[in-house]
A and B are shown apart, each in its own frame.
Chain A
């Protein structure tokens, strides 16, 4: 069943003439894990903000069409009510720390305080959320004393604790080192496996290939592909449009042209690449293989 529905959404930022999102039609089913890819400026962040209600409630501007989550419509709601439908986390973990709190535990409770959850229930929910993301041992630390990966997990937990129906993540690992990236992706993957509906804007295609149910490709504000990761991430169209796809795909595409890739489907990950290559060694006697 579709939990998120975008119906013919077109959006212009204030004081601009060209729409950044053009006639977007898409649905996300409950429990689905959808990755959004696209070159810089394609509108990934704007799409995230739109589902999360910040477009138009925070950024203003001109929106047409409808954004619906679990049957209610974004433009008819308030941002502070909408964030209970859709949780948003984004790139820079430092800027997501409220600054009003001295410990991770209190930081995570911030959103619950704002919506007036009683203290006993709040403590329970914060503990549960920290367990879910594996950060219980950070509870008493200052949010500012943490590594980027830890801070991002705190930011994610701070959103999860509010129990949104849908989680929207805008390149949550783009400012992270490999260790931080692995930490954060580990949490996202665990959430997806638990049945959370996740929309993730992301550049790291190999990771998407392994874990996303679906990939939506945005190009200049339009959806140009929408389907299974193995199809979308290897499509020729995306390669032509200058999407930064997996290097294994690029290598295999070249290899295919040279007759060194026999499989129908191009690879996205290293494993698929290793599996699919048929090595044709140039041989003076022309025996091949």
Chain B
């Protein structure tokens, strides 16, 4: 793979939305969801909002695969820790000195719902939005161009440097460097591996800077974009609407908490 992005190309309506619209939508789902404290809230959002969106984007299967792969260790540990280390509560059963508590299990269930919808929401966004188009729209919305460049190019360069690290690893091994074995051997091997990578990338920074300056990176003219990023009045309205709804939800939540 050439980029750290998990973007999957599809001809879906979700893919065709302006990246900013998806960004705002994701942010609203994330923050809006946190306004609800019901134990089922996370699951409702996952199944009633995120999943239909994923179906609309044609990436449901891929989304669930990634969500599962990333979150199962987390969810497992949440269940183990919350149920066994819950202080006072209703014991479900006893194994010697420890016993899982009902309250702990319920809390873990609620937390897991949150973990799942937050992950799914983020993954869905990444699956349907190209990082470069997102950066272009964020730039148009006011993000500094230098920052946008750093984010996108880092996403592309990390895999390149990983490949380079492997080349160095092979080269040093072929010179007889021991890289496998116990901790001490491995630690000793680290320097000859990391040093060439760090030094070469430091030297490269200057060349990279020259190369982008040679293409008028710091030009003060108004930038244009080779990629057409679709946008429409209705999407702009939708973005404003979503932001207002989210603010109302969060405000409502605060007021409700204050009054009770």
Contacts and interface: CB of A to CB of B under 8 A. Distances in A.
Interface string A80-113: 1101100111101011111111100110011111
A155 B209 CA distance: 14
Interface in B201-260: 204, 207-228
A105 B226 contact: yes
A83 B217 CA distance: 10
B213 A99 contact: no
Contacts of A155: 211
B216 A84 contact: yes
Residue among B152, B217, B228 with the highest chain A CB neighbour number at 10 A: B217
B90 interface: no
A90 B208 CA distance: 11
Given A122-B224, A144-B2, A144-B156, A98 B212 contact: yes
Given A80-B213, A98-B215, A116 B224 contact: yes
Contact of B132 (A87, A95, A100): A100
Contacts of B208: 95, 99
A80 B153 contact: no
B162 to A, nearest CB: 12
Contacts of B47: none
Contact of B224 (A52, A58, A117, A159): A117
A286 B228 CA distance: 82
Contacts of B207: 90, 92, 95-96
A122 B211 CA distance: 20
Contacts of A37: none
B153 A98 contact: yes
Nearest to A54: B210
B215 A54 contact: no
B202 to A, nearest CB: 12
Q: How large is the interface on B (under 10, 10 to 19, 20 to 34, 35 or more residues)?
A: 35 or more
B219 A115 contact: yes
Contacts of B156: 99-100, 102, 144
Contact of A100 (B2, B152, B209): B152
A131 to B, nearest CB: 17
B49 to A, nearest CB: 30
A119 interface: yes
Interface string B102-136: 00000000000000000000000000001010010
A80 B218 contact: yes
A116 B221 contact: yes
B179 interface: no
Nearest to A86: B214
Interface residues of A, number: 45
Contacts of A159: 214-215
A119 B152 contact: no
Contacts of A106: 132, 226-227
A126 B214 contact: no
A159 B210 CA distance: 12
B152 A99 contact: yes
B194 interface: no
B157 interface: yes
A113 B210 contact: no
A118 interface: yes
Nearest to A52: B214
Contact of A54 (B130, B135, B213): B213
A283 interface: no
Given A54-B214, A113-B226, 14 more contacts: A80-B217, A90-B211, A92-B204, A99-B154, A99-B157, A100-B152, A100-B153, A105-B226, A111-B216, A115-B221, A116-B224, A119-B225, A144-B160, A158-B215
Shortest 4 CB-CB distances between A and B: which pairs?
Answer: A99-B153, A111-B215, A109-B226, A116-B221
